[in-house]
Structure formats: C-alpha cells, structure tokens
A and B are shown apart, each in its own frame.
Chain A
Amino acid sequence: DGGITQSPKYLFRKEGQNVTLSCEQNLNHDAMYWYRQDPGQGLRLIYYSQIVNDFQKGDIAEGYSVSREKKESFPLTVTSAQKNPTAFYLCASSIDAGTETQYFGPGTRLLVL
C-alpha cells in the first residue's frame, strides 16, 4: 500500500530544543517537499528536494534544516533559531520536480511547551 507517512502525529518542543520530523514515502517519487500550515494561511514551502543528496530552500527556510540521504526519506529539523515553530507541518512528494501533482502525508502538529 503506497503512500507517505509522517511521524510523530504530535510533537512538543521545549525552548532552545531542536526537534526532527520524519517523512517517508514508498511511492518511488524523486521529489519531496516540506510545507508549514498556520491557521488562516495557505501552505508555505520550507524546503524541497528534487533528488537524493540535493535540496533547495523554499520561501520560509530560516530556522529549519533538512537532509536527503535516501530517496524515500526527507526529515525536517526545526532548530532553536525558529522562534515561532507552532504549526502543522506537511510533507509531500511528486514523481519528479517537473510534475505538478503533489501527494501529501497526514501531517505533524508541533507545539511549543
């Protein structure tokens, strides 16, 4: 059963702490994306990766970091430099970077303690 999984479903971060959100896909897609969704706002692109070992900053990359060591995995780290991290984080993938159709995971809700 192909799809995108994200874990955990809920994540709590303390002040000054780095946290990592997991995103895995078994769709054999080349491109993967991380978005942030805030209430009343559309999805904003944080980082994207077109291929393994390569990634680019999106519109709101400050305070975040990513890696793409495997095709199926694209973890997102929310660093302590991100001063307003409370949001719903969505991972997506597409067949390749030139394909417009993106498929989304179930999301991770990050809350600050």
Chain B
Amino acid sequence: QKEVEQDPGPLSVPEGAIVSLNCTYSNSAFQYFMWYRQYSRKGPELLMYTYSSGNKEDGRFTAQVDKSSKYISLFIRDSQPSDSATYLCAMSETGANSKLTFGKGITLSVRP
C-alpha cells in the first residue's frame, strides 16, 4: 500500500457544485496535512494547512482531517471555473527533517 493514496480522477462538475476531494494514508505518524492547488504548467500553491484532526475553513474551502480513519478531505463550495486545476494532498510527520509526502493529485474541471 502506498503511503498516500488519492483518487486519480479526473473529475468534472458543473459550476456551483460542491466538490469533495479525498486522500487516505497509512502512516499514523503524519500530523500535518496540506492541500496544494496546481494550475496547468505552474508550480503548486498552498491552499489549506491543518494540524492533527479537525476542520478548517477558508472562504469556499474546507479541509477536514480524520486521523482515526487516516482520511483527509477538501471540500469546495459553489465551485467556479477558476477552481479548475490539479489538487494535491500532502502530509508530514512532526519535528525537524520532516519531509512532505504527496498524493498523485486529482485534476478538477468545473464546467461553466
């Protein structure tokens, strides 16, 4: 089993839909969880950052972490065509020298 699994997609939704993106992981030592958004031919940009379990909301975006199930989610409300991008989950253990482990990414297309 890979350390981080992410639904491969692609995913296509109509404008205004609620989008749910998910990752599962196997390493129980992961404490920090991130979602990056990557537009085509660009570098990833940090979208959401969460420590341990719980929810975090930022505008139309909500990140959810369930450490007991080793499952993280990113919800996008009222999706817009500008949300069309690849979304990568990433996570790391705590402490110095911790490295990020990335999911493979899922490409989202929001149709006008």
- Spell out A's residues near B (CB within 8 Å): 4, 6, 40-43, 45, 48, 50, 58, 88, 90, 92, 96-98, 100-107, 109
Q: Which residue of A lies closest to B43 (CB)?
A: A104
| Contact of A43 (CB < 8 Å), options: B45, B88, B92 | B88
Q: Does B1 contact A (CB under 8 A)?
A: no
Known contacts A6-B43, A100-B49; 19 additional CB pairs below 8 A are A42-B4, A42-B88, A42-B103, A42-B104, A43-B90, A43-B102, A45-B99, A45-B100, A58-B99, A90-B44, A97-B96, A97-B97, A98-B98, A100-B92, A100-B98, A101-B49, A102-B100, A104-B44, A104-B45
Chain A residues with Cβ under 8 A from B90's Cβ? Answer: 43
B43 and A90 contacting across the interface, CB-CB below 8 Å: yes
Chain B residues with Cβ under 8 A from A104's Cβ? Answer: 36, 43-45
Q: With the chains together, A56 CA to B6 CA distance in Å? A: 27
Which residues in window 73-89 of B have CB below 8 A to A?
88
Q: Does B60 contact A (CB under 8 A)?
A: no
Chain B residues with Cβ under 8 A from A48's Cβ? Answer: 99
A42 and B46 contacting across the interface, CB-CB below 8 Å: no
Q: Does B112 contact A (CB under 8 A)?
A: no
A40 and B97 contacting across the interface, CB-CB below 8 Å: no
Chain B residues with Cβ under 8 A from A98's Cβ? Answer: 95-98
Q: Within the complex, what minimum Cβ distance (angstroms) separates B104 from chain A?
A: 4
Chain A residues with Cβ under 8 A from B99's Cβ? Answer: 45, 48, 58
Q: Which residue of A lies closest to B51 (CB)?
A: A100
List 29 contacting pairs A-B, 8 Å CB cutoff, sorted by A: A6-B43, A40-B104, A42-B102, A42-B103, A42-B104, A42-B105, A43-B44, A43-B90, A43-B100, A43-B102, A45-B99, A88-B41, A90-B43, A90-B44, A92-B43, A96-B96, A97-B96, A97-B97, A98-B95, A100-B49, A100-B92, A101-B34, A102-B46, A104-B36, A104-B45, A105-B43, A106-B43, A107-B43, A109-B41
Q: Does B8 contact A (CB under 8 A)?
A: yes
A101 and B41 contacting across the interface, CB-CB below 8 Å: no
Q: Which residue of B lies closest to A90 (CB)?
A: B43
